[in-house]
Amino acid sequence: MSSMLESPEFTKQLQPWGIGITNKLLRVPTRRLPSPELHNAAGPVRMNQSTESWDIKPGSQWPMIRAKTFQRWVVVAHRQTPDLDQFINSSIRQEANGLGIPVGPPKVFNTGGDERPQAYLNLMTSQVAPLNPEFIVVVIPRKLPEEPYRSVKQFLTATVGLQSQFVTQESLTKSPNLKANKILVQMNCKFGGAPWQVDLRLTTPTMFVGVDVHHGKDVGHA
């Protein structure tokens, strides 16, 4: 806060709006609620109160409280690589077993190395859509600002009406089991499954609002 207030550029941006900011932050009294008990299909799970992380670790035995089955799903990539083969044949199978999600082998397509959005769209129109798959995993070369994610996502959602999950080739290379774990949990949730349930013992209808305030790795500032 002090560094911002000492910045001439920051002060200059506030002047047209007639806004002034003080470095005396308002202190708001809060209280810490007890951590809820989670339940997966195997029973209750006590969370680590020091981190409050609800992440499901790769390689863990965490059967979904409500698991869906995936027998007709598709992987579309810009090219077939050994990393992709390992991801499908090893990482997905290992993580699916631990999560209790029945997953069959996917059909795999590639654009022949063509990274343009139109190459993905042509492939999906001619070969993928006629299969009427339950789910599509789209592998893009790298984390790009918009494309091919935007065009392909819009096509799958608005035109074809298929659930999808995007992943970068880089993430499959660095941490295949971590990515497989996250994709499977997301696939399951998007199809009406659930990774856990929380026993809050509520007696009246209640609405919850989640406020995401920080994405840093330092849990002390979350």
Query: Residue 219's pLDDT is what?
Result: 47
pLDDT of residue 38: 86
Query: pTM for the full model?
Result: 0.74
Give the Cα separation of 183 and 177 in Å (integer).
10
The Cα–Cα gap between 33 and 129 comes to 48
Q: Which residue type occupies 13? A: Q
Which residues lie across from 66 on neighbouring strands?
194
Provide mean pLDDT across the span 45-72.
85
Above pLDDT 70, what percent of the chain? Answer: 93
Of 74, 192, 56, 55, give the one whose Cα is nearest residue 130: 74
Contact in structure between 115 and 148 (CB atoms under 8 Å):
yes
The pLDDT tens digits of the residues spanning 203-215 come to 888 888 877 766 5
Supply the pLDDT for residue 56: 87
Instruction: Tell me the C-alpha to C-alpha distance, in Å, between residue 84 and each of 61, 126, 173.
Output: 24, 22, 8
Residue 129: pLDDT above 50? yes
CA atoms of 62 and 97, how far apart (whole Å)? 9
- Check if the beta carbon of residue 167 is closer than 8 Å to that of residue 138: yes
Higher pLDDT, 146 or 64: 64
- Higher pLDDT among residues 34 and 56, named by residue: 56
Confidence grade of residue 222 (pLDDT, cut at 50, 70, 90): very low
* Mean pLDDT of all residues belonging to the chain: 86
